[in-house]
Structure 1
Amino acid sequence: MKLNHILIVCTLLCLRFACAQDFQGIATYQSKTTLDINLEGRRIPEDRKAQIMERMKKGMERTYDLNFDRTASLYTEQQALETPNTDSRGGRFRMMMGGSTGIYYKDIQTKTFKNQQELFGKVFLVVDSLEPWQWKLGSETKKIGNYTAYKATAIKKIDTSSTNQFRRFGPPPPPRDEEKKAQEKDSTGAKTENTLFNRMEQPTEKEIVAWYTPEIPVSTGPGNYWGLPGLILEVHDDKTVILCSKLVLNPTEKSKIEAPKKGKEITQAEYDEIVADKMKEMSERFRGGNRGRQGGFRPRG
């Protein structure tokens, strides 16, 4: 009897372990970013202004799928069908405003990620450690779909260097006719460069708000967000809101959650520097009035 009891316990433990290993889910997220851009005062027809603002709005609305198990996840953007009026400028605008996440793989156990990105025809594989989040758990709750979500916050420092601003906001717009002088005098009489970043108030930190559900006990979420005792269903990061719109647990057809392998392997800092250099190049070309030429990626060195 005692031996039979031990065998039953062992069998149940094995079944529980097998179920844990097979556990998977697919979450769909809607991401929207708002931009404070004022086109007033510029010599642009009103209908053209409306077209520009609509293109910017569409360019900052994206849909992602998160395939996850208990230890790893794969975050990919759904590819929308291009409309007949879509041109190559749409892709360049998306890249200037932050691009996409490409194929983003997170391994919670090793605390590492691999992000496959394509930049002007060249593929990179960004491999680095996951950013640690110092989450502060709160007691506030709300319903997201059928799940009870709890609020958590974290403070993130912002790199205010000029190269990082290019990466975050893209190249500045062309100067107005009355601003075509390359430099302006400040209150001391010294000349300062009239750039978008000199006119922009740059915060040094921001609060990230996340909503997670312990009902799905996985420590992952969309993009680079992770580290909470439950799946992250909603994120408020400055002007970007990411919201889970669909969730399927243990789908009939399970997919392989594997890290991407294609591309030149570099670190996140190296990739950021490459993007910043490209942004500066595009900005200089734009400011010089050479808007019609479209340069491809030229490797440094």
Structure 2
Amino acid sequence: MKNLIFFITALINTLTVSAQDFQGMAVYESKTSTADFQNRMQGNRDITPEMQKMFEERMKKAFEKTFILNFNKSESIYKEEEKLEAPGQNQGGFRMMTSMMGGGGTFYKNVKTKSYAVDKEFMGKEFLVKDSLKTIKWEMSGDSKQIGGYTCYKATAVLPASKSDLRNFRPRRQEEDEKKKAEEAKKKADSEKKTNLMDEVELAKEITITAWFAPEIPVSQGPESYWGLPGLILEVSDGKTVILCSKVVLNSKDKVEIKAPKKGKEISQAEYDDVVVKKMEEFRQNGGPGGPGGRRMN
């Protein structure tokens, strides 16, 4: 009997240590459709073919990224893969665009404490956004498919659109375009005013998320702020942006330290959203990145 109790105790201790040491790494490819923006540009007489080509090239860089997720049973860090950029790239308004495309900084999640922290650089100022993880009300469909050899199951949810994420902006509806043009017709024409693409878009109120998770990887983690499913999320889409896992490594000998970022001015998500919205409004009023709104923040 003593030997049996000893064996059971040792087994429990071994499983506990194993769970504590469990760690994995996943590589994700993120792509966002730019078709709507490109169509609007083609119909804009103020944009030359050369400007359109340059814009499309930079949009592709900003909207196609590779991320690494390192995770254990309760924590994770999600970070964009570092790439060496050519001189002159990612400047001005495109620097702001990149910081609003889910890239930059380290996104830390703790599903045990239901908290997150992410360090962001926006307009030359460093922020440390810290807040509580929002509970996502996932609905299971029972559908399944294979992703990288893992059987994944489908779940959907409707979430409020983040005000500070450029991917949540959509082309304005036709009736709103006509109303806006009528208002602008009443104003004095300014021949030197620069083309402002921010006038062409609006923020979606909510987005529908479709996720595919793998129960074989028993962690409630996923890319960006996604979590709360009984298995690692290997694919997630909001209709415009698709984040797809291309590689998974479990329990590698090389462990990665998973810890929350600490650099930057501490701020809540709502406060950070307000900062971004105000700066975007400055950009809109001043004709885009070339106007006074493109200066560094104080």
- Please state how far the C-alpha of 1:51 moved relative to its aligned partner: 2.5
Q: How does 1:169-188 map to 2 (within 5 A)?
A: 169=169, 183-184=184-185
Which range is displaced more, 32-41 or 238-247?
32-41
3-state SS of 2:230 partner: coil
In the aligned structure 2, how far is the partner of 1:29 from the partner of 1:167? Answer: 17
- Please state how far the C-alpha of 1:184 moved relative to its aligned partner: 4.2
Per the alignment, do residues 295 and 47 of structure 1 end up closer, same or farther by CA in structure 2, a change over 3 Å counting? closer
TM-score normalised by the chain length of structure 1: 0.82
The percentage of counterpart residues that share the same residue type is 44
Q: How does 1:146-185 map to 2 (within 5 A)?
A: 146-158=149-161, 168-169=168-169, 183-184=184-185
Q: Which residue of the partner structure matches residue 117 of structure 1?
A: 120
Per the alignment, do residues 165 and 257 of structure 1 end up closer, same or farther by CA in structure 2, a change over 3 Å counting? closer
Q: Which residue of the partner structure matches residue 105 of structure 1?
A: 108
**Contact in 2 for aligned 1:32/1:62 (Cα 8 Å):** yes
- Please state how far the C-alpha of 1:65 moved relative to its aligned partner: 0.6
- Please state how far the C-alpha of 1:113 moved relative to its aligned partner: 0.6
In the aligned structure 1, how far is the partner of 2:146 from the partner of 2:125? Answer: 42
In the aligned structure 2, how far is the partner of 1:73 from the partner of 1:137? Answer: 24
Per the alignment, do residues 129 and 86 of structure 1 end up closer, same or farther by CA in structure 2, a change over 3 Å counting? same
Q: Which residue of the partner structure matches residue 51 of structure 1?
A: 54
3-state SS of 1:14 partner: helix
In the aligned structure 2, how far is the partner of 1:290 from the partner of 1:31? Answer: 28
- The CA RMSD over aligned residues, in Å, is 3.0
Could you give the per-residue CA deviations for residues 50-70 of structure 1, whole angstroms, max 9, x where no partner exists? 232122122111111110000
Q: Which residue of the partner structure matches residue 225 of structure 1?
A: 226
- The reply to whether residue 144 of structure 1 matches residue 150 of structure 2 is no
In the aligned structure 2, how far is the partner of 1:59 from the partner of 1:111? Answer: 29
Amino acid at match of 1:92: M
Amino acid at match of 2:69: L
3-state SS of 1:56 partner: helix
- Please state how far the C-alpha of 1:166 moved relative to its aligned partner: 7.7
Q: Which residue of the partner structure matches residue 41 of structure 2?
A: 39
- Gaps in structure 1 of 5+ consecutive residues: 173-178, 186-194
Q: Which residue of the partner structure matches residue 92 of structure 1?
A: 96
Q: Which residue of the partner structure matches residue 191 of structure 1?
A: none
**Contact in 2 for aligned 1:209/1:237 (Cα 8 Å):** yes
Per the alignment, do residues 113 and 143 of structure 1 end up closer, same or farther by CA in structure 2, a change over 3 Å counting? same
Per the alignment, do residues 263 and 47 of structure 1 end up closer, same or farther by CA in structure 2, a change over 3 Å counting? closer
In the aligned structure 2, how far is the partner of 1:295 from the partner of 1:3? Answer: 74
Per the alignment, do residues 297 and 8 of structure 1 end up closer, same or farther by CA in structure 2, a change over 3 Å counting? same
3-state SS of 1:18 partner: helix
In the aligned structure 2, how far is the partner of 1:202 from the partner of 1:114? Answer: 24
- Please state how far the C-alpha of 1:182 moved relative to its aligned partner: 6.2
In the aligned structure 1, how far is the partner of 2:89 from the partner of 2:166? Answer: 25
In the aligned structure 2, how far is the partner of 1:15 from the partner of 1:290? Answer: 61
Could you give the per-residue CA deviations for residues 13-42 of structure 1, whole angstroms, max 9, x where no partner exists? 111111110000000111111121122242
In the aligned structure 2, how far is the partner of 1:73 from the partner of 1:229? Answer: 15
TM-score normalised by the chain length of structure 2: 0.83
Q: Which residue of the partner structure matches residue 18 of structure 1?
A: 17
- Please state how far the C-alpha of 1:254 moved relative to its aligned partner: 0.2
Q: Which residue of the partner structure matches residue 243 of structure 2?
A: 242
- Please state how far the C-alpha of 1:82 moved relative to its aligned partner: 0.6
Per the alignment, do residues 74 and 283 of structure 1 end up closer, same or farther by CA in structure 2, a change over 3 Å counting? same
- Gaps in structure 2 of 5+ consecutive residues: 173-179, 187-195
**Contact in 1 for aligned 2:286/2:292 (Cα 8 Å):** no
In the aligned structure 2, how far is the partner of 1:200 from the partner of 1:296? Answer: 24
**Contact in 1 for aligned 2:104/2:121 (Cα 8 Å):** no
In the aligned structure 1, how far is the partner of 2:255 from the partner of 2:125? Answer: 31
In the aligned structure 2, how far is the partner of 1:290 from the partner of 1:182? Answer: 24
Q: Which residue of the partner structure matches residue 74 of structure 1?
A: 77
Q: Which residue of the partner structure matches residue 216 of structure 1?
A: 217
2:130 aligned to which of 127, 142, 157: 127
